[in-house]
Structure 1
Amino acid sequence: MQDQLSFSDLPTRPYTQPHKVPGPDPDETPVIAGRGRLPSYISDHRKRLRERFMSGGADALPDYELLELVLFRAIPRQDVKPLARRMIDKFGDYNAVLSANPRELSKLHGVGNAVIVELKIIEAAAQRLARSRVMERHAVSSWDALIAYCRTIMAHREVEQFRILFLDRRNVLIADEEQARGTVDHVPVYPREVVKRALELNASAIILVHNHPSGDPTPSESDIVMTRRIDEAATTLGITVHDHIIVGRSGELSFRATGHL
């Protein structure tokens, strides 16, 4: 029987499809007086915000204004600044809003299917872009991009997720897979399954990655024990465990750098 141990810590629920609402969403399509034109104060604000973004990039805008740009597409006929501020207040920052669970998003007044879909499109695009920068690349020379990718897909999740990055003999990343998903503070991991999958992919080395939804990347005792068991099983079959990275909202921790591996 395989040993089952768990990684620990606290909150991010997996994305599920938003509920479909028949017909127009009244929160997203309010009636505006006149001939269907936006009031000048709204249209002028949108124009100025777009110009600031194009001239200064994302760094020129606070989180709520960057979120406004996303909401412009989903809600074309009203002032979205109040909604953007409410979303930042509830979830904390721009990244947390993008990765928020659709059920939690829908609890905010003014958030309907169009808003949720737009946010999830942006989130998916960010993940694909980050992934494209590490796949089929040398892991060591693209280490910063690899860490950025792990943070993009895992830092704001509300449940623990365990992923494995598989590398060939040249340390080129050949596959990235989610091996297990758990609860807010538990994810089952089986060393035998980790090594079995590495053999199936003909990988010569692996990098383990999991998240701590609490935000603190400090490893638990069970994290350390599990990593050692995976390393022992992999070494027996000639597979190298290069590192185990714990991702938290406050940063990330490398087992190799901290002497745990």
Structure 2
Amino acid sequence: MPGPTGDDKVVLGIHTNAEPNTNAWSVDTEGHAWISVTRNGTTQAYGLWPNDHPRFANEAQHPETNIRQGIENRFPATESRYYQLDQKQVAELDKALGEKVTWGYLNNCSNWATNTTERVTGEHIHARDNYGIRTPGDLANGIKALEKEHATAVNQPTRHVAEPSSSFGGRNPQPAEQGAAAPVKTGDPVMDALLANPGNAAAVDQAGKQLAQSPEGRAFAAEGQQQHAAQQAAQKQADPGQQQQQQNQQAQQPTQQGPAHHLTR
């Protein structure tokens, strides 16, 4: 099916602000991943964020879905890839953006951005490390490899014509991937419990809560809060008038505290 032409064309982008992960045996949780959609020359970003991230501490009521719009509009990306969509792909993208999606350790921002892009375009982006968790650093590796073969830009997107997967999980498994895989053992009982039950939502949720309360999880939350504070300080320097207005609004609302266990901030 032909895609839109000229200013009517729709371009899907996938992005990460992490550096490529150079250690294949580590779960590098630094950075964030998101997608962008350009319609009629206007670009809007979409990303998956947990409700308890410090960025949303003052929300009076959290949205029904963790897909949030516009947060990454000004985020710089280290790696990006762009696709021009046909009408069928645009319909699939709009369907995905309208779904109720919940952030989780095995459905973090990298999982969602990668799965959505694969679902819409049919192109596989390798973004999974040895522990089975997708991270921004591994996504950076995958995008970089694809861009090395065929570079893209928002005004020079690729047209991937492969039939997209019918499931939200991205592509259909290749023959070498079919069959039961041996359980991954990391030596960390909390992480092992998290990885041992990918299809059990209750078990994954419980393991995720245990991970968040572990010393490593608390340290990660503290690091996330520090990074958020640094981002706020940088924005304040860039636009002091806007930051002062936001601070005045926040001062009128009760302050809430919560862990920032956003694997991929």
Provide TM-score, normalisation by structure 2.
0.25
Provide TM-score, normalisation by structure 1.
0.26
Larger Rg: 1 or 2?
1
